[in-house]
A and B are shown apart, each in its own frame.
Chain A
Amino acid sequence: MLHRVLIVEDTASDARQSAAVMKKLGAEDVTALNNIASALLFLQDVMEGTKEAPDLILLDLSFPRESGFEVLRFWKSNPKLQPIHIVVWTVMGDTEKKLCEFFGVEHVVPKWAGPRELEAVLCTFFDEGRRDGAK
């Protein structure tokens, strides 16, 4: 079961929508951050042990200043953060999708596919969590 979820998203409506999907699937602790700087600070705290690590991060890539790749960089370069699942949810181009592959992010969901598609992808994580929990 995935308890803690971090949403990094600057569009308020998208953040609301995805949070609703997470809650529906059974997430208990959903945090949403609307900029990269606070997301990085959050992860820094996780590294230092002052905050509990989320089980999953739902990440948007396009932000007005720094891009979501900064979060991917931080995640990739810190082995301690590797157990966190990452799902990229963004207005995708093929380039971004390809770049995500370099970071080893397998789950890239285009926003235009709607919340159903997002739910379908997230379902696999929640199901996996459930199976693990049942063991």
Chain B
Amino acid sequence: MSKLPEMISKHQEAIRADWLKQMSGAVRRADLMSNEEIDSQSRELLTTIASGAKSGGITNLDGPAWTPAREALAAISASRAKQGFTTSETAIFVLSLKQPLFAMVRKELAASPDAVFDEIWKATLLLDNLALITADAFQTTREKFIARQQEELMELSTPVVKLWDGILALPIIGTLDSARTQVVMESLLQAVVQTNSRFAIIDITGVPTVDTLVAQHLLKTITAARLMGAECIISGVRPQIAQTIVHLGIDLANVITKAKLADAFALALQRTGKTVVAMDSGNAKKTLFKKEE
């Protein structure tokens, strides 16, 4: 039976003081968190470790006795991930507990070197396990961050712009995959309904490559828009992409394609019965002059 749990409970305050001293040398990030915060975190963690070791043993940390300790560690790691600590800085927070714990074991069991070695080995295993929990929690928080950012990026990357009454533009930048095409399609159809538009220009200037799948997705979007009574024009078809489309045998015969967004806009204006007329410079001057009078 290990004496470690008993020793931790007995010397909790001494260990904590030593631990804080250790940390101030190794990982204290005064720019990221205050002393009070570290103080309260270390107290909370050590208390939960002491109670976990006492009731749940020190070999298996999966049991319910260790739940408070695991939760405390996860919360600490998550807050550090948000504050901008690195993985090693977060792990060292727990690992720096080793030295004070070992020193305490040595002092307590000074009489028998065998027992010292035995307890130190157990303490190492315990802290390594705790450090692994920390690292896992840190990683999970970071991954959540990244996933959320990806979502935001996806929403930002598919803006639907109203060019004129009844004419929408949808500039697509970056590679199109199934998930993204779904977002593109939904935001386009939503905008068609909201603005009651007759024309939608899908600009693929910023799409690096077009493969069969992407083309299929585009065609699906175009069909859906057409069902709703909106005609789609694809613009920004670069020579390489045109070649790829021909090479893959994708049939775009029923779709209006234009090389430039400007051409597509001009066509849409023409189809809606509008033209762009250059302002007569003489008239413009006259109006300006009249206004000044």
Contact = CB atoms under 8 A, between A and B. Distances in A.
B189 A69 contact: no
Interface in A48-97: 66-67, 69-70, 73, 76-77, 95-96
Contact of B224 (A66, A73, A95, A103): A95
Given A69-B227, A96-B227, A76 B196 contact: yes
Contacts of A77: 196
Contacts of B192: 102
What is the size category of the interface that chain B forms with chain A?
10 to 19
A73 B193 CA distance: 7
Contact of B229 (A73, A95, A98): A73
Contacts of B227: 67, 69, 95-96, 99
B229 A76 contact: no
A69 B229 contact: yes
B190 interface: yes
B196 A70 contact: no
A69 B228 contact: yes
A90 to B, nearest CB: 12
A76 B192 CA distance: 11
Interface string B190-217: 1011001000000000000000000000
A70 B228 CA distance: 7
Contacts of A102: 189-190, 192-193, 228
Interface residues of A, number: 13
Contacts of A96: 227
**In terms of DSSP, what is the predominant structure of the interface of chain B?**
helix
A95 B190 CA distance: 14
B223 to A, nearest CB: 8
Interface in B168-204: 189-190, 192-193, 196
Interface string A3-18: 0000000000000000
Nearest to A66: B229
B217 to A, nearest CB: 14
Nearest to B225: A99
A99 B229 CA distance: 11
A73 B196 contact: yes
A131 B184 CA distance: 42
Interface of A: 66-67, 69-70, 73, 76-77, 95-96, 98-99, 102-103
21 contacts: A66-B229, A67-B227, A67-B229, A69-B229, A70-B229, A73-B196, A73-B228, A73-B229, A76-B196, A77-B196, A95-B223, A95-B224, A95-B227, A96-B227, A99-B224, A99-B227, A102-B189, A102-B190, A102-B192, A102-B193, A102-B228
